Amino acid sequence: MKKTVITAILLTFLLLTGCSALLERDYSSVTTHNAVPATEGDPSILRADSYQELVNALIYFVTGGMEEGTVRLYTDTENVESFLADACLEVVQEDPLGAYCVEFIKYTVDPVVTYSEAKVDITYRRTREQVSSIIQATGVTAIRSELESALASFAPERVLRISYFEEDEDFIRGLARQAYYNVPACALGMPNISVSIYPKSGRQRIVEVLLDYPLERPELEKRREELTRTLEELSWDLAARADLPIAAAHALLELGKYDPQGEDTVMSIFEEGAANSEGLSLAYAALCQQLELPCHVTQGTKHEQPYFWAVVQTEEGWRHIDLAALAEEMDEPPEEGLLCTDRTFHELGYLWDELSVPACLEK
């Protein structure tokens, strides 16, 4: 009987401990490893046990905008000076942020019992505000979107950090020009576009785009306000029209004419009473966007000459429309001025980059 009781007690104990074991679960806490550990809790004094950790320490100082810092080098290298010189040069020439914002790095080295202590002085050629305003952008669409945002606010610069970027300055200038035509209500004169890329090669690079506008920012903002009011007034009479794409074109052409030698901004037709193909196309695209009608300015050639027109969304799909051709013969609009498909426009002598323009296909 005693055996039975003892056995029962043991079984009960085992079951209870077994259940407790089943309920227990291991867990882990993951903490990001600090590649540049601070010494004694001071973020300006770092430890480096290798060349890469030394480079990481310098990048850490630059990222924090620090002008001074100390690195304690626990390395076996005999020539600490050469070690430091190579690391400083790499940060200034090969690291994207270093290449963009650092003028130069100076250092002094003092030997200690078990390590060498390097005191670092960093001189910058960018302000902290410029560094903090750097925007991460991945892919052509994101780059163009950031440039559109800059142009829409008449910002003087946009600095982007881009991964896996292998293009050159001309490519970025092309994207900036595309962005200008994508915000027609702010197209008050193509800015002078200056592009610098840091470094010249690498998996990650910083792209600096400087925008020098033909007018001062207050004047640009004033003109944009005037244009917005004008577009709003035009849209009130057009919103209910069924033939909106054509009606919008005629509403603009009642205000002025096509002049091959005319001005090329969105305001030209309103202020001068005339505009070239670029100015007409920008005004049309701006009005369509005010009417919430998708529309893009298209740059190409007509009879092998540089030329602009628009591509607009209609009930039949995307269609080309040439306001300059419409303006030349308002009484009898020529076939080439009406809403056309890609095939018709090609037959009429127009050429364009078909990858950058919505396809205008027959329904």
Q: What is the mean pLDDT of residues 51-76?
A: 93
pLDDT at 100: 97
Number of structural domains (the chain) is 3
Do residues 347 and 249 share a domain?
yes
Residues in a beta bridge with 197: 207
Residue 234 in any domain: the answer is yes
Q: Same domain for 346 and 225?
A: yes
CA–CA separation, 22 vs 34, rounded Å? 36
- The answer to whether residue 270 is domain-embedded is yes
CB-count exposure of residue 314 (10 Å: 0-12, 13-18, 19+): middle
CATH number at residue 208: 3.30.110
Is 14 domain-assigned? Answer: no
Please provide the average confidence, as pLDDT, over all residues in the chain: 86
The pTM assigned to this predicted structure is 0.82
The domain boundary residue, chosen from 212, 239, 264: 212
User: Which of these three, 96, 126, 156, is where a domain ends?
Assistant: 126
Same domain, 282 and 297: yes
- Which of the four pLDDT bands, split at 50, 70 and 90, describes residue 312? very high
Asked whether residue 74 is domain-assigned, the answer is yes
283 in the same domain as 185: no
| 76 and 137 belong to one structural domain | no
Residue 26 forms part of a structural domain? no
Q: Percent of the chain beyond pLDDT 90?
A: 73
Task: Kindly report the CATH number assigned to the domain that includes residue 297.
Answer: 3.10.620.30
Choosing from 126, 147, 181, the residue where a domain stops is: 126
The answer to whether residue 29 sits within a structural domain is no
Q: Are residues 235 and 320 in the same domain?
A: yes
Token digits of residue 31:
């903490």
Summarize pLDDT for 316-329 with one digit per residue, the tens. Answer: 999 999 999 988 76
pLDDT tens readout for residues 50-60: 999 999 999 99
Residue 2 lies in a domain: no
Same domain for 190 and 232, yes or no, is: no
111 domain-assigned: yes
| Three-state SS annotation for the chain | CHHHHHHHHHHHHHHHHHHHHHHCCCCCCCCCCCCCCEECCEEEEEEECCHHHHHHHHHHHHHCCCCEEEEEECCCCCCHHHHHHHHHHHHHHCCHHHHHHEEEEEEEEEECCCCEEEEEEEEECCCHHHHHCCEEECCHHHHHHHHHHHHHCCCCEEEEEEECCCCCHHHHHHHHHHHHHHCHHHCCCCCEEEEEEECCCCCEEEEEEEEECCCCHHHHHHHHHHHHHHHHHHHHHHCCCCCHHHHHHHHHHCCCEECCCCCCCCCHHHHCCEECHHHHHHHHHHHHHHCCCCEEEEEEEECCEEEEEEEEEECCEEEEECHHHHHHCCCCCCHHHCCECHHHHHHCCEEECCCCCCCCCCC
Q: Which residue has the higher pLDDT, 230 or 79?
A: 230
Q: Please give the residue that has the higher pLDDT: either 226 or 81.
A: 226
Q: Is 110 found in the same domain as 144?
A: no
Same domain, 117 and 151: no
257 and 174 part of one domain? no
Read off the pLDDT of each residue in 44-55 and give the average, rounded to a whole number.
93
Same domain for 315 and 268?
yes
> Do 224 and 347 share a domain, yes or no?
yes
CATH (domain of 99): 3.30.1370
Average pLDDT over residues 208-236: 96
Q: Which domain holds residue 182?
A: 133-212
State residue 295 phi and psi, 5-degree precision. -155, 145
